[in-house]
Each structure stands twice: as structure tokens, then as C-alpha cells.
Amino acid sequence: MPPKSFESRARELASAFAAKDYERCSHLLPPLKVTLSQLNILVPLDSSDLSLVTIARDILEIGALTAIFLRDDLLFSRYIAQLSPFYAMKDKIQPPSANERKLIALRLLLLLSKNDIAEFHTELETLEDEADKDIYIRYPVMLERWLMEGSYDKVWKATTQRSEVPAEEFAIFADILVDTIRSEIATCSEKAYPSLPLMNAKHLLFFTEDKDLLEFIEQRGWTVKDGRIYFPQESTDSLETGLPMENVIENTLGYARELETIV
């Protein structure tokens, strides 16, 4: 197709996105991507035309943001993967993308919500030093830190209060994160408290409605008695009384074998 109508379609996409018509965006995107690959610009090389590269990058960014709003994780990950060669050549593309930081931060947040901490840190290493300075990237980094420490109240405040969240896209992850925190707190509470009054449990788990709390308790399998929650106690001491025969025998046989082998 002649590039002229391609550019007009790209503008159409941008206007649809600005108007928050995400359904329409998702319709417009696939044919645009086909055109991009026909123009050989889907994967940018050093030899590609720079103006086309800029347009391609903008299109892909809109695609990624649309995927977030439509809550499609896989699609978002795919767009980010396609964007990475563009960001690798960012020195050559003018103007630098305003959305780059936001998208990287969103990717980090996605990894965090899936609890993929190893991948999270790997990506973080490639960013080097910008974590503290950039408001977008700081958000998932601080969240991860608080989650690891265990200060769940800070995480709660950061995800639910609108003032803390840097952009609306981040708020979409809020639900997943809240679920994560709740299950974490629940697991900690099982080990830490012998028993807990209902009122405090509601407060600790950040529930507003009693019935939500009761549903949650059902789900976790705790017992309620006299307005207190009792956690199932694990029977710890009975298991370890005998000698772990198998292990010891296995080890000793191993030693005997090794000593006698002729190397």
C-alpha cells in the first residue's frame, strides 16, 4: 500500500487512542502492523529510514498501551518485545519517546504482579541507575522493595490511593496487586498469630465489608469461634523423632563406594 494512506491511518489510530476508544484501536492495529512488516520496518535495522522508524515506534507504543487498557497481558508483552529493538537504537531516533519510561515501568509492574522476581531483577539491571530519578520507574521498584520487606501497608497505600499512582495505567494493576498482598498477609498471619479477633483481621487484610472477610476466611480454611479466627496449627514435633534412616544409609553407602572406586 502507498505510504500516504499508511500515514493517514497512523494518524487515525493516534486520534482514536487519544479519544480512549480502545476497541477501535485494537481493530486498526493488526492491518497497520501488516503494513509495517511490508515496509520492512517492523524490525528496525541500521539501514532503515528514520522517519518511518519513528512512526513505527509510535504505533507499537499505542498498541502496547491499548493492550494494557484492554487488560490483555500476553498482547502487552508481545508489543514490549517488539519495541525493544527500537529502544535499543534510541539515540538515533528523534524525538525520544515520551512513553518509553512508562512502558518499561508497566512491564516491571506486570512482572511483579505475576511474582516473577528473577525476571524483574534482570530487567532492572539493564536500567542501571534511572530507578531513583524517574517517577514512573520508581513506582514498581519501591513496590518491590516494600513487598520484600513486608511493609504491606505502604504497598496498600501506594496502589489504592490515587495520589500515589503516577499514571492511570498503573491503577489497572491495582486489583491484582491487592490480591497478592492479601494472600501474602494471610500466609504470614497463619504462622505469626495464634489467634486473631475478627475486627483486627478485617483491618489487617484491608477489607471494608464483613462479608468479604468471611468469604476470604472460607477460602483459606480458617475456623471462626467467638468472634476470633483460629488458624490451623501444624503438627511439627511428631515427624522428626526417629532417625532419618534412609538418608543416613544412602549417604554412607555413597562414601563407601567413592572411596573404593578406582579412578
Using the rule CB under 8 A, which residue among 22, 154, 172, 207 binds another protein? 154
Least distance (Å) between residue 187 CB and another protein = 6
Cis amide leading into 95 (omega within 30):
yes
Which of the ranges 17-25, 62-70, 171-179, 246-254 carries the binding residues for another protein, by CB under 8 A? Answer: 246-254
Neighbours of 52 (CB within 10 A): 17
Q: What is the dihedral of CA 195, 156, 145, 166, to 10 degrees?
A: 180
Q: Which three cell numbers stand for residue 116?
A: 516473577
Least distance (Å) between residue 193 CB and another protein = 6
- Mask 181-220, x = binds another protein (CB under 8 A)? ---xx-xxxxxxxx-xx--x---x----------------
Using the rule CB under 8 A, which residue among 19, 50, 81, 117 binds another protein? 117
DSSP letters spanning 220-247? HT-EEETTEEEPPPP--TTTTSS--HHH
CA distance 178 to 173: 9
Using the rule CB under 8 A, which residue among 20, 92, 114, 121 binds another protein? 121
Instruction: Pick the closer one to another protein by CB: 209 or 237.
Output: 237
Give the residue ranges of DSSP H helices in the chain: 3-18, 22-38, 50-69, 73-88, 100-113, 117-127, 135-149, 152-160, 168-172, 174-192, 198-204, 210-220, 245-260
150 lies in the binding site for another protein (CB under 8 A):
yes
CA distance 141 to 120: 9
Q: Give yes or no for a contact between 229 and 222, defined as CB atoms under 8 angstroms apart.
A: yes
242 lies in the binding site for another protein (CB under 8 A):
no
Least distance (Å) between residue 171 CB and another protein = 23
Instruction: Pick the closer one to another protein by CB: 3 or 85.
Output: 85
- Mask 67-106, x = binds another protein (CB under 8 A)? ----------------------------------------
Neighbours of 155 (CB within 10 A): 23
Residues lying near another protein in the complex (CB under 8 A): 117-118, 121-122, 124-126, 128-129, 145, 148-154, 184-185, 187-194, 196-197, 200, 204, 240, 244, 247-248, 251, 255, 258-259, 261, 263
